[in-house]
Structures are given as C-alpha cells and as structure tokens.
Amino acid sequence: MSLNRRLLNERGGEGHRGPSLPACDVPVRPLAELLPGVPLRASLDLPQVSEPEVVRHFIELSSLNHHIDKGLYPLGSCTMKHNPKINDELAALPGFALSHPLAGDEANQGSLRVLLELQRTLAEITGFAAVTTQPVAGAHGEMTGLMLIRAWHRSRGEGEQRTRVIVPDSAHGTNPASVHLMGWETVTVPSGPDGCVDLERLKAALDTRTAAIMFTVPNTLGLFERAIREVTAAAHTVGAQCYMDGANLNALVGLVRPGDLGFDVMHINVHKTFSTPHGGGGPGGGPVAVAAHLEPFLPAPVVEERDGRLRLVHDRPHSIGRVHSFNGNFGILVRALAYIATLGPEGLRQVSRSAILNANWLKARLARAYELPYPGHCMHEFVLSGRGLKAHGVKTLDVAKRLLDFGVHAPTVYFPLIVDEALMIEPTETETLDHLVHFAECMERIVAEAAEDPERLRTAPHDTTVGRLDEGRAARELQLTWRKPATRPTDQVSPAGRS
Amino acid sequence: MDYPDDVRYTQDHEWAKQEGGVVTVGITSYATDQLGDVVFVELPEVGRRLEAGKSFGVVEAVKTVSDLFAPVSGEVVEVNGAIGDNPALVNQSPFGDGWMVKIRPADAGEFGKLLSNVDYENLVEESH
Amino acid sequence: MAYVGLSREEEQRMLRDIGVARFEDLVESVPADARLQRLLKTLGPASEIELRRMLGGWAASNVADRVPSFMGGGLYDHYVPAAVNAIAGRSEFATAYTPYQPEVAQGTLTVIFEFQSMIAELTGADVANASMYDGATSLAEAALLARSQTGRARVVIAGALHPHDLAVLRTYLDGKGVTVVADKGGQCAAEDLQSALGPDVACVIYQHPNFFGLLESPRTIHRIAHAAGALAVAVCDPIALALLDPPGAAAGDDPGADLVVGEAQPLGNTPSFGGPLLGYFACKAALVRRMPGRLAARAVDAQGRPGFVLTLQTREQHIRREKATSNICTNQGLLATRATIYLALLGRRGLAEVAELCVRKTHRCAELAAAIPGYRRAHEGAFFREFVLECPVDAAAVCAKGRGMGVLPGVDLGQFRPEWRRHLLVAATEQRSADDIARWADVLRAAGGAR
C-alpha cells in the first residue's frame, strides 16, 4: 500500500508551512497604501505543505526516474556520458552563483574569464576562429548559426535569393525545423546504399538559391562521410555556407576538427560532448563556433581581453543581435570548461577513441543477434534494425520497452528515418566493459524472448511503476494541469484568440 | 481492410463519395491503420476554396502528422463538427461517421479521374 | 583522466573481438590528411585540487558573494531554501534524461505536470508548458505564435519592456514589424497605445511590473488590444504574481491576456551570471496546439494506473520537422524542478509573504532615498519591488562607490541608454535586512558627496 502517489495539491492543508521568513524589519505599511489603486488578486490557489512532506513527495518521485548515475542510456546522438561531480560544485561556488551580469565588468572578471577561456578552448577543439556562448541549446544554436549565415549572405547582397538549405535524409528533426523558423525551405538529399550522402544528387541540388548545407558529422548512422570535404567544397562553389550539426562531436574530439573539413559554422551541445547534466530535459548549452568571416556577425556582446582586463563589448555593428537575455547558460558553461580542463589534451583524444572503441565492440557483438544495415566500422554510434523480429510480431518499440525491465534505458528508436525499425545505439566512452556486456546480454535475451514469448515483449515493461501509457487518450483528453480538466482546445476565448 | 465500392479513392488515402452534387471526403481505413489513434483533425472553414491535390487540412496521431489532400476542387459546404470533440470517430468509422468535409465540386470531370476501389486496393497491396 | 574505465588489456581484447589489429583501423573512413596530427592545445589536465584553485580563484574575484545586492533588471537575489538544493541536486533529478520513455521517467513527468499547474495558477492562464530557455525567448516565441495565429505581422510593445527582451524579440523577428509605444512617465499611456494599433497588429506586449518596476493597467491594455483584433501578451515576474491580479484570468468582460510569459529565475534559482534561466509560457486553451516546447499530460496505463506522458509531440521538431511550430527541443528541466520545489515549500502564504517583504523593503529604500539630497524617484506611478532613482552623479559612479563600500546599490541604467546614465534601478528582495538598507543609503550619501 503506498501513501505516496498524490500530487502536491492533494497534500498538506491550511496552516501547513514550509521554511519561515524573517519578520519584516522595516515599517509595515499596508499594501493598499504602498500599491495605491493596484488590483490585487483575490486568491492564490497554491498548495500549503510542510517541509518534511515536500521532501518526501519529491524523494518518492525521484525514485521513479532512471538516470545516468544509475544506469546506461545507450541513446544514439545523445552522448549520455558521466556527469562529473566536481563540476557541479564549481558551478555552485557563490562567486559564480550570485554574480549578476548587469553589475559591470569590474565586478565580474571571474565570470568573464570563464566565458573567454571556454570560447578559446572550444575554438581550438573545433578548429574555428570564434565562439559565442549565448545559445543555450542545440536547436537554439542551429537557429543562431542559420541567422549568421543569413547575415553573411545579406552582407554580400544575396540575402533575398538564398532561401534553401540542403540536408541529408538522415538529418535530425531540428534541422528542417530550424530552417522553417528562418522562413526558408528544406531540400532533402538521399543517402546512398553506403549510408553516406549521394554526392551526385547533392551537387545537383546545389545552386545559387542555396543558403547553406546542414550536415551532422559523423552522420546519424554513425558513419563518417568520407567525401565530406568534397561536399563542403561543392557548397562553397555555389556560394553556399556549410553548417555542421555538432550532435555527434563526441566521435571527433581530438581526432579531426570540423573547421578543417570545410565547415563555416557549427553548434556544440555541451550537454552531450562536454558532460553537463541533463536535468530531466535541460538546461543545456549550445555554443556556436564560426570561421573568421562570420565572426563580425556574432551575437553581441562579445568578451574581449585587453591588458589583462576582461570586458563585454557591445559595439558590434554587424551583429545579428541578442539571442538570449544575457550570455548563455553560464552555470552550465562552467561545468563544460571544468570538464575540458580535467581532461586536458590527452584526455580529450581519449574521449573519441574510447567512444569509437566501445561502439564498435557493441556493434560487433550485437551483429550476431540483430540486423545491421551498415556493417562497416562505425564511429561513436551505430544503427541496428529490429526488422527481423517482425516475424514474431515484435517491433522495435517492444524491444525498447522490454529493456526498461532490465534497468537499461532504451536506445533511440525509429530514428534515423531511413532505417526500418531503427535502434540507434551510442554507449559513450564512460561505460565500462561489464556494462556493455550487460547491455548486449539484455538485447540478446530479448531476441530469444521474441521467439519464445513474444507477448511478454509486446506488453512490456512489466517491472516499472507504470506500464505503457495510453498516449492517444492523453492527447485527446488533454489534462495539462491539476486545476481542472483543461478546457478543450476548440473552446472560444478572446475574439482575437480564435483559430 | 475495407475497400467499399461506393466511393472512389486517391493515392494519398482519401476517399470521396458523390451524392446529389456534393462530394463527401474522408480518409481510408488503411490510412487510420497506419496512423494509429487520431488525436486531432485540423479542417478548413466552410466557404474555403479547395484545389484538387493540394492540402486542405491535417490529421494528427500520437506520433505522426499527415496532410489531407483534396480529391477534387471546389467549395467547402460542410465540415464534420463531431470529430472535433471526438477524433476517435475517424478510427472507429473512417468511411462513415468519421467523414471530414463536404465539397461542392467546381469541375464535374475530376471525380471520375479518382481511383476505383479495385485500383486503390492494388495500390495498397503493392506498397507492402 | 577522461572518466574512461577501460584498461589496456580490455582495449586489446575489445579490438580482437571486433576483428581489427589496431584502433586506427576503425577510423580509416576519416581521411588521413584531415586528421589532427597533434594534440589539441587546451587547459589541463587538472586534478580536482588544481581545478578548485583555478576556478575558485576566478569565482572569488567576482564581487557577488561578499556583498548585499540591490540589483534587479530581470535577475533577483531571492532566497533559495536549503531543501531546494538538497532535492534538486540529487542524481535522480539532475542526471535524468528527457522523459521520452515515460515508464522510467514518472518522477520528471510528474514534476513537469506540477510546474505547469502552478504556473497556470500564478498567471491565471488555462495551460502552461514545461518551460522555455528564458523569459526573453519565451516572449519571442509568444510573438511568433501570435503572428501565425492571427495571420498578422506587426508586434506592438506597450511601454517599458526589458531592453534585452526587446533585443531578443527583434532578432527573432528579423528586425521587422516591431513598434514600441513610448512610455510616458515610465508607464504606457492608453491613448498612445490606441493610436499605435491597426489591422496589421498581431499582438500587444506589455511587461507588468514593467522594466522600471512600475505597474501597468493590464485590463485596459487587453481591452484595447482585443478591440483591434490583436492578442494580448503579458510579461510578468512570478513573485509579483503572488500578489497582483493575474493578467491571464478573466475579469468582468475582459477574458484575460491570451499569453502570459516571463522569467521565473526568482523561483528557487540563483542569478548565475544570467544563465541558466527559466522561461515560462502560459496561454489560453484555444492556443495549446500552437504552443512551443514540451507539455506533460495525465495518462493511464493498461491496468488503469495513473501517470504522465509528454503530449502533443507532433508539434515538435522530432516529428513535425519542417511543419514544426518551433524548433525547440529542450526545456529548462532542472530549473523548473527547482521552481516547483520552491513553490511547494513556500506555498500560497509563503510566496505572498516573500512578495510583501519585497514590496515593503523596496518602498523603504525609496523613502530613504527621497530624504537624501540630490536623489529622487525618476517616475511617479505605483511600483512593486523595483524603482528608478535619479542620482546627482552618474549611476556608474554610485555603483563604483558601492563596490568600495561593500554594497551593490542597483543596476546602472546608463549601460542601456546614454540618456539614462544618471538612473539607478533599485530592487530590494526579502533577503535585504534593515541593516543592509541602511548601508545602501550610506552609499547613496557618500556617492552624492554628502558625509
């Protein structure tokens, strides 16, 4: 019998109190006097709960989560590596935690130093000239990168004509979504049978309407596009820019630099490659690195050093403007810098090396039980197809759900779209061999179960707090708050708010 | 799988039924089978002009979203209000209560160009 | 050290299992002449001891942790109860991934649902999402939504919006179609707003309390906006919403603001040099299908057990791709968790008490400043927990004096506009004691040339 499955609004009651506040030590004048004529609210219907009950509530909820400190997340293109604990402590240092960006450069030399050092080191790692830390997520970085490209085309009088972006059919969904945000058009180019982009089709698609190409390297199949320099050269020939989606940077760190492959701009997911914690969905960090010709367009302000003093420079006439309230997710960037400093040059090279080794070992092992659409060596991730299990009436979704029973998070499923019943697997470099073996054994057991007891897979998971949830019903009923069932989306409200 | 013979079909899995100068349009049971649970349908307003082959709305399932393509050109004269409150009707009765729009066709010839139930069934079987 | 737990022997064994002789065989698809031939030149390697020394030194060179702060301007020094750190710092919350497999993420999903519920309550809106990058981008997304919803292009800003919010909005809208209605006496005048509207206006955006801390007239603004067929977008501080009539709720014949967005950093999060922050996004139910970001909904499993799932995912980039309403993937998960814990700990009374303390202390500052020669309030309207002080010297000089005397006396508005160089934006939170306030007054006196 569990006491503990109530929401906050079902707990506590009148008179329950959390931590108290100091008594008011300035003259207590009535609010009506201090806020004359200001309409105040009649009621605030938030729960009242004591601290012990709040703690129990959230601790109980915490026990319902899988997390990287507990077990593997072999999610392709997510790079769920260990989150070093020293980094959390450093980000929480009061000098960082309390620093206020509007206090002036003199008061914030320490914070500015973090940003400058991180920019320099990310530029070195990626082979670019300059970095902005304002974007706070990969998607945010994509948007910023495309805006930089647009600004560059405009500076050359080609802003109106260049409205198309070419992506491979293996691209992550944020790529076309970001293109759409710009009001541009996505042109998709198919991959060849080797999993790499069809170079001839790409060249045919390139013309003077192309603003940019957007590529992930290695691609979402975990394959390094051998012809990538031909790709970027072809794009440059028609006057287009080359954007790299940095989601798979973990395969490249210390091995090869995107700037050396002909790219002009990329975003970096610090919550992937640089170990910052995922927090249940954020915060992340999406710094953008650019080649020298795009540097003048970077979001303002930028950090500069002169005579040992650091300052924020706002006078940047070609800047695309701000994309964030301040300078990006500083608290996350501290962690990324600490991680890089912990590793140093040798450690960084070790990252891609071990990531690639782990992925290839796992691929070789799982090739015995699963179909491998691209059997050659992979980089840091690879894709299996669960197609072979269809004969037993089992789908990739069922494989994913059954893994949850074994204490392993599912890999990325049904992506990339070009592989049927895809399972995209990325172990990362911080998994030890016994965890890789355990994961492989779970996957093999599932294949055996598919033949012996497919129903067990189709109804998985069995050992989690809830089973498969009815998502169709949830989307139709749409209860999004505890207050009352959400009014149906077709209800009329303000005259202007009607669809 | 249902392939009623009293309607005609498009390659994009819509069906169209002509009755008394009005064409009723919906999506086929093959479409609903592929989509899964329909959670929302975005439909045009009465009076909107549609063009054959162009998108006139969107059908949303849990994990996919699909455009709806007009089988014939014309003016929307009626929209099925019931599926706003109960999108499940599309899954339960795709050829019946789950209908979507009624069109007054602009070009009488277009309806005849749509696929017969036999041709549509072949199309579906082939893609498997 | 790279957090890699593989021995040389294991590496060799793995290479053999794969069927290659050397690691280099695995990366032969990377052209040899593209590969780095040298080690990267970066900081490190550093042990924890060395890291603490280096980064600790940088942190200590910031002024912030040693001095009471009267700074606001979008980021506030509110108290973070100990239980927030204790709970949110746990691995289960801090190191969990996005809840795409809901069966093993009910903790995260439940917290998101509770966050959505409490934001909806605070704002008076029907629904709220799982959070956005920050208040500024949340506002930009609200403007984009208003444009696609109404089919109109122009965005009108009614009065004093935070300059950084305005800057981000302009970037997102590519600098086009943004009209700013000037503030008169610090607030938006109804007649100025009225004359700025037309059939091309998608939304009217106002901040309440505004950038100067002054209170606007939401119901009036809503009426004017709706009459012109535009949506009303309110930008509100969440602490202020503990006391103020929530703009998202209906009142009389005003159905309320269509969208309420803002920066929720004050709820259980530190300023942290401006990031990570916590944007919130709330709106009327009719707009839910156009909302960006993630949404958690109640759900049930096959055995009738209740739970939560991410819903309406078809709006999102990973499914809708080029038809996506936005490209956003992330929410500020951990900060939303912290905010939820904070709101749970304070509750309706505690939050109202925090807000009341802020109001009283800030007004006390204004009272004291009025008695110091050379200082006066720049505006006359009612204000909440911030106000603008016109100083006898540059505000930058007051701030420099303050740093020397161990107080951060406010935000120098001269950094935004040259005509504001004598203007100091002052905020006092519940953390500022009467003693802190007395020292703050001393700074003003000293900077103004008095003894």
Please check whether residue C212 is in contact with residue C160, taking contact to mean a CB–CB distance below 8 angstroms.
yes
The pLDDT of residue C317 is 53
Residues of chain A neighbouring C56 (CB-CB closer than 8 A): 90, 93
Residue (of C256, C407, C210, B92) closest to A476 by Cα position: B92
- Check pLDDT > 90 for residue B34: no
Whether C94 and C200 share a structural domain: yes
| CB neighbour class for B119 (10 Å; exposed up to 12, middle 13-18, buried from 19) | middle
Among C298, C314, C340, the domain-final residue is C340
Residue (of A356, A165, A47, A71) closest to C114 by Cα position: A47
- Architecture of the CATH domain B8-106: Beta Barrel (2.40)
Domain that holds residue A435: 351-465
The pLDDT of residue A498 is 36
Chain B, chain C: beta-carbon pairs less than 8 Å apart: 15
Query: DSSP character for A249?
Result: G
Q: What does the pLDDT average to over B32-61? A: 91
**Is residue A7 situated within a structural domain?**
no
Residue B65 has φ and ψ, to the nearest 5°, of: -140, 140
Q: Over the stretch C141-168, which tens digit does the pLDDT of each residue have?
A: 999 999 989 999 999 999 999 999 999 9
Whether C284 and C405 share a structural domain: no
| Overall number of domains in chain A | 2
Residue C313 has φ and ψ, to the nearest 5°, of: -70, -15
Residuewise pLDDT in 10s, chain C (451 residues): 889 989 999 999 999 999 999 999 999 999 999 999 999 999 999 999 999 999 999 999 998 888 999 999 999 999 999 999 999 999 999 999 999 999 999 999 999 999 999 999 999 999 999 999 999 999 999 999 999 899 999 999 999 999 999 999 999 999 899 999 988 889 999 999 999 999 999 999 999 999 999 999 999 999 999 999 999 999 999 999 999 999 999 999 999 999 999 999 999 999 999 999 999 999 999 999 889 989 999 999 999 999 999 998 766 655 555 555 566 667 899 999 999 999 999 999 999 999 999 999 999 999 999 999 999 999 999 999 999 999 999 999 999 999 999 999 999 999 999 999 999 999 999 999 999 999 999 999 999 975 4
CB contact (8 A) between residue C323 and residue B64 = no
Name the residue in chain A with its Cα closest to that of B39: A476
**Is residue C241 situated within a structural domain?**
yes
The pLDDT of residue C321 is 57
Q: Over the stretch A283-326, which tens digit does the pLDDT of each residue have?
A: 999 999 999 999 999 999 999 999 999 999 999 999 999 999 99
Whether A255 and A380 share a structural domain: no
CATH code, domain with C283: 3.40.640.10
- On whether any CB of chain B is under 8 Å from the CB of A466, the answer is no
Whether C370 and C323 share a structural domain: no
Label the pairing between strands B65-69 and B55-61.
antiparallel
- Check pLDDT > 90 for residue B62: no
The pLDDT of residue B66 is 86
| Per-residue tokens: A124 | 């070195």
Query: DSSP character for C315?
Result: G
Q: How far is A391 from chain B (nearest CA, A)?
A: 15
How many residues belong to chain A? 499
User: Residue A495, Cα to own-chain centre: how many angstroms?
Assistant: 38
Please check whether residue A220 is in contact with residue A424, taking contact to mean a CB–CB distance below 8 angstroms.
yes
The pLDDT confidence band at residue A493, using thresholds 50, 70 and 90, is very low
CATH code, domain with C430: 3.90.1150.10
**Is residue A169 situated within a structural domain?**
yes
The pLDDT confidence band at residue B64, using thresholds 50, 70 and 90, is confident
The pLDDT of residue C275 is 92
Which of A142-156, B82-96, C216-230 is predicted least confidently?
A: B82-96
Please check whether residue A192 is in contact with residue A173, taking contact to mean a CB–CB distance below 8 angstroms.
no
The pLDDT confidence band at residue A499, using thresholds 50, 70 and 90, is very low
Q: How far is A190 from chain B (nearest CA, A)?
A: 20
Chain A, chain B: beta-carbon pairs less than 8 Å apart: 24
Q: How far is A366 from chain C (nearest CA, A)?
A: 11
Whether C168 and C280 share a structural domain: yes
CB contact (8 A) between residue B65 and residue C320 = yes
Q: What does the pLDDT average to over A446-451? A: 97
CATH code, domain with A175: 3.40.640.10
Please check whether residue C352 is in contact with residue C242, taking contact to mean a CB–CB distance below 8 angstroms.
yes
Residues of chain B neighbouring A473 (CB-CB closer than 8 A): 37
Label the pairing between strands B74-79 and B101-105.
antiparallel
CB contact (8 A) between residue B85 and residue A475 = no
Interface test with B, best of A471, A477, A487, A498 (most B CBs within 10 A): A471
Q: What is the pTM of this model?
A: 0.94
Interface test with C, best of B40, B64, B65, B85 (most C CBs within 10 A): B65
The pLDDT of residue C331 is 81
Residues 475-494 of A with CB under 8 A from B: 475-476, 488-490
CATH code, domain with A412: 3.90.1150.10
The pLDDT of residue C65 is 81
CB contact (8 A) between residue C30 and residue A109 = no
Domain that holds residue C188: 83-340
Cα four-point dihedral sign A346, A349, A355, A356: negative
Residues 6+ apart with CB under 8 A from C83: A18, A19, A51, A54, A55, C341, C345
Whether A184 and A290 share a structural domain: yes
Residues 144-173 of A with CB under 8 A from C: 147, 172-173
Cα four-point dihedral sign B46, B49, B52, B57: negative
Q: What does the pLDDT average to over A329-348? A: 98
Whether A259 and A395 share a structural domain: no
Which residue from A61, A360, A496 is facing C110, i.e. has the nearest CB?
Answer: A61
Whether C120 and C226 share a structural domain: yes
Q: Mind giving me the DSSP string for C128-170?
A: E-S-BS-HHHHHHHHHHHHHHHHS--EEEEES---HHHHHHHH
CB contact (8 A) between residue B37 and residue A472 = yes
Please check whether residue A321 is in contact with residue C170, taking contact to mean a CB–CB distance below 8 angstroms.
yes
Chains that touch A (3 or more CB pairs under 8 A): B, C
Please check whether residue A174 is in contact with residue A128, taking contact to mean a CB–CB distance below 8 angstroms.
no
CB contact (8 A) between residue C103 and residue A469 = yes
Whether A190 and A279 share a structural domain: yes
Whether C71 and C88 share a structural domain: no
- The H or E element containing residue A387 is none
Whether C116 and C141 share a structural domain: yes
Residues 6+ apart with CB under 8 A from C348: A44, A45, A46, A47, A48, C242
The pLDDT confidence band at residue A334, using thresholds 50, 70 and 90, is very high
The pLDDT of residue A497 is 39
Among A279, A308, A342, the domain-final residue is A342
**Is residue A50 situated within a structural domain?**
no
Please check whether residue A276 is in contact with residue A336, taking contact to mean a CB–CB distance below 8 angstroms.
yes
CB contact (8 A) between residue B62 and residue A476 = no
- On whether any CB of chain C is under 8 Å from the CB of A32, the answer is no
The pLDDT of residue C313 is 76
The pLDDT of residue A494 is 38
Q: How far is A112 from chain B (nearest CA, A)?
A: 43
Q: Over the stretch A53-72, which tens digit does the pLDDT of each residue have?
A: 999 999 999 999 999 999 99
CB contact (8 A) between residue A136 and residue C133 = yes
| Per-residue tokens: C173 | 């809208």
The pLDDT of residue C1 is 81
Residue (of A194, A192, A256, A186) closest to A214 by Cα position: A186
Residues of chain A neighbouring B40 (CB-CB closer than 8 A): 475-476, 489
What is the spatial distance between Cα A82 and Cα A274, in angstroms, rounded to a whole number?
10
The pLDDT of residue A492 is 35
Among C280, C313, C340, the domain-final residue is C340
| Overall number of domains in chain C | 2
- On whether any CB of chain A is under 8 Å from the CB of B82, the answer is no
The pLDDT confidence band at residue A417, using thresholds 50, 70 and 90, is confident
Q: How far is C203 from chain A (nearest CA, A)?
A: 9
Residues of chain C neighbouring A44 (CB-CB closer than 8 A): 121-122, 242, 348, 351-352
- The interface predicted TM-score (ipTM) is 0.96
**Is residue A116 situated within a structural domain?**
yes
Name the residue in chain C with its Cα closest to that of A496: C229
**Is residue C178 situated within a structural domain?**
yes
Which of A259-263, A334-338, A456-460, C446-450 is predicted least confidently?
A: C446-450
Q: How far is A440 from chain C (nearest CA, A)?
A: 14
CB contact (8 A) between residue C23 and residue A356 = yes
